[in-house]
Structure 1
Amino acid sequence: MQPIHTYSCKKGLLPVFRRTIRYVVWLLLLVTVSSVYAQTDKKAKKTSSGSTIHTQAVKLSESLEQSASDETVAGDYIELAKELADKKDYARAEDYLKRALTLSLKRKKNDQSSWVYRELAKVQEMQGRMEDAIENYRNAARLAADDTQKLLNKNDAARLGEPLNLTAQSAYIQQNIDLAANSNFVPEQISARRQMAEVKLAQNDNQGALEELEKALEESESFEATQDVSFQIKQEIANTLVTDKKHEEAIGLNKELVDEARRTNNPKTAVKQLQNLATSYFEAGETSDGISSLQDAYNTAIEKGLTLDAKKVLEQIVHRYEKERKTSQALAAYSDFIGKLDTLVKNDSTLVDEKFFRLQEDKITQLEKERMLKDELITKKNRYNDVLLASIVLVLISLVVILKVLYDNLRKNKKIALQSLRREMNPHFIFNSLNSVNQFISENNELEANKYLSSYSKLMRTIMENSNKDFIPLSTELEQLREYLELEQLRFSDKFTYTIHVDEALDTDSVMIPNMLIQPQLENAVWHGLRYKEEAGILSLSVFRKEKDVCIVVEDNGIGIQKSRELKTAHQKARHSRGQSNTQERIGLLNHLYHTKITMEIVDKSGEDTGVVVTLCFPRIDRKKVE
């Protein structure tokens, strides 16, 4: 310990001189520190302190610089906040916890968000901002992953809501101690015991406070908590011993803490513990030893280049000297500090560390702005992509709707065209039938006329019942064809006979065939082939299965197509041509509407065996599809 030289001064000038000296010290300290900050700016950029705070700050900067995930950056914010809180830098710790909270809420990580809310409430409580702390304890409870965490936070919120009710506070804290013990949450258990010690001190239960702190210390050592936590608990024990007037025990514990700080090469903590030791001496009435401890703290701060710590210790020394009316020693202490100030500041690594940390904070802030800008750009891009995708989907849906409407309209038009073509055949049939009735009446053959009209009306009723159907059962079609052939036989009684043969393997009720597609072929056979024969002709209708198709063959032994054309008038030729084209158009429409494949083949037999063979084939039609 270096001695501080003394000198005398006139008594009347002492108060003014002391104030002047203090102002000079502050001014010199301000100017010197500013100068050192300017000179060490480049050095700070290259220097990284060994402290975990600076390590975490660098790690956070690197994560932001490398565009790490939100999860990684949030974790780095939390780790830096922990280190700052351990060093009692609660304002900065709160700032980084809020940044971590923003990312946790963004990622919808309720478990992490709950933990951050709780830590945020703790640092706000340490700053005396109880309303904010209560709100965040409640937020933590709301997002808690389990009932234990939820109850821990609810109890803390309730505890802060009872600032004057120490009994209620004690009950809430005890619940948290029990909850933490049952769930093996040792850090929470330690924290709750330290809170309980504060309440017991407020209740003047010094012994109870000591017991809680000793339990907390035991738990921290068994849990291998951080050195800072154990050290803080020991200091709280020492302070409680002082409050309980157990000065010798307090002095002994503070000496142990000084030795521990020096053993772990922690000069800043050693200076703080020497100050605490001095306080214990002063409380015990041992002023000389107290001043000696302060001088030891001052010399340690000077030796280790701790400018601000040295200044604080100096003020305590001066205060004690003034209290003991040792003015000359007080002035000598100021003089000694001023003389060493320039060298002290230049050698103060903590100032460089502080500058380094501020540079890191500036860098972190800038990187956060860049990250935010990048996120905004990504958000805008995603929003643009979403709008573009939605527009494309909307256009596609519109196209599908338009195509569906067009397809439905086209299909509807084709069905109308199909019905029109089918009904086009009826007037010709009706005209021929009425001519036959007229012929019967002119020949005074009323009986035959009545018979013909009866069969004709029955056939027309059947035709009209099915007029709106594109496909009808084979059994219905065969019934219509028989009725039609019977009418034609009445008209041309001596011109032909007919046969109908149906494959027994076919279920005529389930097989669906095109409506009114066969009748025109029978009509052509009778009117254009058989009626011109001198002798009676034969007309046959056969229905059979051919692989997967159903085929219908209409065959006659009439005069054939070629000779029929030679006998026809121009009008008859046009009518016959229109009948065939009508049939072909209907087949084309049916194939398109029902995605089927109906075929028709017409063969004009040559040689002595004259006549025509018409073959219609179509695949089996699903009844549900066409009904």
Structure 2
Amino acid sequence: MKCSASHRQLIIITLLCCIPAMVTAQANIGRKVKRASGKIESGIKKNNPDTLAGGYFDLGESYYQNGEMGKAETYYQKAKSLFEKMDDAAGIAKSSRALAKVQEDLKKNKEALGNYNTARDNSQKTGDITLNTLNGNDISRLSKPDSVLLQERLIQSNIDLGIKKGDTGEIVTNFSRMGELNLKYKKTTGAINAFKQAYQFSINNPGQAMKFNDIITDVYLQNKNFSKAIETKKDFLGQGYVQSSSQLKAREITSLADIYIQKKEDTTAIQLLNESYDLSVKNGHTLEARTSIERLDSIFQSKGRRDLSLQLYKNFLQQLPAIIARDSSIADNRIVAETETRVRQLETEKNLKDDLIRRKNNFNYWLIAFIGILVVFIAIILNMVKKLRLRNKKIALQSLRREMNPHFIFNSLNSINQFIANNNELEANRYLTKFSTLMRRVMENSKEDFVLFSQEIDLLRNYLELEKSRFDDKFDFSIEIDDPLFADERLYIPTMLVQPHLENAIWHGLRYIADKGFLKLSFTRTGPGVEIVIEDNGIGIAASKDSKTANQKKHSGRGITNTMERISILNEVYHQNIICEVEDKMAPDRGVRVKIIVPVLKDFKA
């Protein structure tokens, strides 16, 4: 039965649609990818970047050994990024070198050079001299690609280092580089020898061994050396792992048949292709069976035997469901596809989780920053309020000090007026002279809250002398001071706290007694402060209040009230503990006793 061209084309299209597009893979690529995926999943779930980086690196290795350079580059890059985040010099060196090798195979020499530099820098940190030299050689090699002798010397140096280190991967990679270099410069024998060395060192890695066997075979075919090409292919077919793998064996038998097709020995080629087809059908290798069918169809078409082609396709279509059912490579590819999907899903989940954490952290940072700014703002406001209050207190102190001056002047002018009223002009003049001296001291001292102890004593002594000249027949006075208080010339005490009490003692106590009274003023050092005692034997507080007229009671003096207010503000502003106690003496004694405890400051600064 003859088949039209359109009918045959329809059968082929149907066949191609029934068979998934897939590549020849190692039998264990699915398992390797699955193991690496397991590490990635564990690293993500446990938030362990070291395990995650290791999983990405292993996944890159799996794809690299399987010849899938694009995927290998992707996962090596992910591993490198994680190692960089952990600042793991050994991990960075390892992943950067692996990434550079892949990029060099992909002809991305600029990127490869950058990663070789990164690998060298980090191998220096770890002290790995061999790895440092390997990276240095590759940097020099890529930096001077046109120097053939330098290229050969550096590649050979890497081969020697790989042999010394026992690193099969480095040995195979660099023998492959040597073969490519020789091919580039038409050195066929050197290229074949280098690729044969790479083949021998990768003999335990079927995928790599197959790759180099194919390269050697292609070199022979390019030079029309069919016998060597056949010998090379048969040598690989004789390997134990090829004979034990029906898929790999079928694939290699087809490759051998291709050589005979090029050699124009169709009969031998047909026998080999039939052998490959039967082996593929029997063991469920869909892709290999399809390839064999396509090769046989090509031969039959060239001989005009379309009937044989049609019979082949009919037979294949009948057996296709059973072949696919037994095809483990489809399951392997499905595992790989599912694993890649799972890895992408895990990465998406991790990215979403990281993004959520990042957003949460950003919110927390903004919240903390806002709270911090608010706290600083509140602190500034409180500090301003505190300073304002302090300033107001100092203004109040200043106002109270200044209020003392008119009070004191008013009382003094009354005394002068009394002298003049009594026609005692000489005493008025003397009093006025003393008064002007005293007023100068009062004005000077009233500028500050604390004055030198010696200045305050002079002021008080002048004041008592002035009042004594007015009430000479009413009282005598004494001032007693501890020697230690005279020893230090830089002691400061609050000003104008004592004078109002002296004035009260004279004007409201001593001047009302019939006999001559006595006023005693003493200063005693008590630890960090000074105890000031004012004693008089006047009529006392109670009697003084009783003797006041209604008008006097209505217009009571501001001296003592002012002094008590100043004490309160001084304690608050300067954090002191000034104490003032006023009391009548116990019978049979008469008079008033005032005790003031004030701090003594050294080198006071307002």
Q: TM-score, normalised by structure 2?
A: 0.82
Higher alpha-carbon deviation: 321-330 or 265-274: 321-330
Contact 1:117–1:136 at 8 Å: present in 2 too? no
Of 499, 509, 513, the residue aligned with 1:533 is 513
Of 593, 599, 603, the residue aligned with 1:613 is 593
Cα deviation, residue 203, structure 1: 1.1
Mapped to 2, the partners of 1:152 and 1:441 lie a distance apart of: 117
Cα deviation, residue 593, structure 1: 1.4
Greater relative contact order, per chain length (Cα 8 Å cut-off, separation 6+): 1
Mapped to 1, the partners of 2:572 and 2:212 lie a distance apart of: 91
Q: Which residue of 1 aligns with 2:449?
A: 470
Aligned pair count reads: 586
| CA shift digits 1:449-496 (9 cap, x unpaired) | 444334333332233223232222322222221222222222223332
Of 136, 140, 158, the residue aligned with 2:115 is 140
Residues 471 and 226 of structure 1, relative CA distance in 2, 3 Å threshold = farther
Matched letter for residue 411 of structure 2:
N
Q: Which residue of 2 aligns with 1:378?
A: 357
Contact 1:98–1:120 at 8 Å: present in 2 too? yes
Mapped to 1, the partners of 2:428 and 2:194 lie a distance apart of: 125
Contact 1:261–1:269 at 8 Å: present in 2 too? no
Q: Which residue of 1 aligns with 2:127?
A: none
Mapped to 1, the partners of 2:247 and 2:439 lie a distance apart of: 117
Contact 2:60–2:73 at 8 Å: present in 1 too? yes
Contact 1:561–1:612 at 8 Å: present in 2 too? yes
Q: Which residue of 2 aligns with 1:411?
A: 390
Q: Percent of counterpart pairs with the same letter?
A: 33
Contact 2:76–2:95 at 8 Å: present in 1 too? yes
Corresponding position: 1:580 with 2:560: yes
Matched letter for residue 541 of structure 1:
L
Contact 1:177–1:189 at 8 Å: present in 2 too? no
Of 30, 33, 39, the residue aligned with 2:17 is 30
Cα deviation, residue 208, structure 1: 2.3
Q: Which residue of 2 aligns with 1:203?
A: 185
Mapped to 2, the partners of 1:473 and 1:381 lie a distance apart of: 63
Matched letter for residue 112 of structure 2:
Y
Contact 1:114–1:143 at 8 Å: present in 2 too? yes
Mapped to 1, the partners of 2:11 and 2:188 lie a distance apart of: 44
Mapped to 1, the partners of 2:534 and 2:560 lie a distance apart of: 15
Cα deviation, residue 344, structure 1: 1.0
Of 175, 194, 200, the residue aligned with 1:193 is 175
Mapped to 1, the partners of 2:243 and 2:415 lie a distance apart of: 130
Higher alpha-carbon deviation: 53-62 or 396-405: 53-62
Higher alpha-carbon deviation: 541-550 or 358-367: 358-367
Higher alpha-carbon deviation: 301-310 or 615-624: 615-624
Of 544, 568, 571, the residue aligned with 1:591 is 571
Matched position secondary structure for 1:493: coil
Higher alpha-carbon deviation: 417-426 or 352-361: 352-361
Cα deviation, residue 596, structure 1: 1.9
Mapped to 2, the partners of 1:577 and 1:152 lie a distance apart of: 103
Residues 284 and 121 of structure 1, relative CA distance in 2, 3 Å threshold = same
Q: Which residue of 2 aligns with 1:501?
A: 480
Of 555, 575, 580, the residue aligned with 2:535 is 555
Corresponding position: 1:89 with 2:76: no
Provide structure 2 residue ranges, at least 5 long, that are not aligned to the other structure: 22-27, 125-131
Contact 1:113–1:140 at 8 Å: present in 2 too? no
| CA shift digits 1:70-118 (9 cap, x unpaired) | 5544443332232123212334445545665776777787986786676
Corresponding position: 1:310 with 2:297: no
Matched letter for residue 175 of structure 2:
R
Root-mean-square deviation over aligned CA pairs? 4.0
Higher alpha-carbon deviation: 420-429 or 464-473: 464-473
Matched position secondary structure for 2:558: helix
Contact 1:247–1:284 at 8 Å: present in 2 too? yes
Residues 231 and 351 of structure 1, relative CA distance in 2, 3 Å threshold = closer
Cα deviation, residue 150, structure 1: 7.3
Matched letter for residue 401 of structure 1:
I
Cα deviation, residue 205, structure 1: 0.9
Residues 324 and 206 of structure 1, relative CA distance in 2, 3 Å threshold = farther
Matched letter for residue 14 of structure 2:
L
Q: Which residue of 2 aligns with 1:255?
A: 234
Residues 50 and 387 of structure 1, relative CA distance in 2, 3 Å threshold = closer
Q: Which residue of 1 aligns with 2:24?
A: none
Matched position secondary structure for 1:51: helix
Residues 554 and 175 of structure 1, relative CA distance in 2, 3 Å threshold = farther
Q: Output aligned runs, 1:230-269, within 5 Å.
A: 230=209, 232-233=211-212, 235-237=214-216, 239-240=218-219, 251-260=230-239, 262=241, 265-269=244-248
Mapped to 2, the partners of 1:191 and 1:108 lie a distance apart of: 28
Matched position secondary structure for 1:405: helix
Contact 1:137–1:153 at 8 Å: present in 2 too? no
Q: Which residue of 2 aligns with 1:45?
A: none
Cα deviation, residue 285, structure 1: 7.6
Mapped to 1, the partners of 2:54 and 2:376 lie a distance apart of: 45
Contact 1:32–1:342 at 8 Å: present in 2 too? no
Mapped to 1, the partners of 2:402 and 2:548 lie a distance apart of: 25
Residues 322 and 261 of structure 1, relative CA distance in 2, 3 Å threshold = farther
Q: Which residue of 1 aligns with 2:461?
A: 482
Mapped to 2, the partners of 1:227 and 1:577 lie a distance apart of: 116
| CA shift digits 1:537-575 (9 cap, x unpaired) | 222222223344421111122222222223333454456
Matched letter for residue 471 of structure 1:
F
Contact 1:84–1:90 at 8 Å: present in 2 too? yes
Provide structure 1 residue ranges, at least 5 long, that are not aligned to the other structure: 1-8, 35-47
Matched position secondary structure for 1:505: helix
Matched position secondary structure for 1:539: strand
Matched letter for residue 415 of structure 2:
S
Matched letter for residue 30 of structure 1:
C
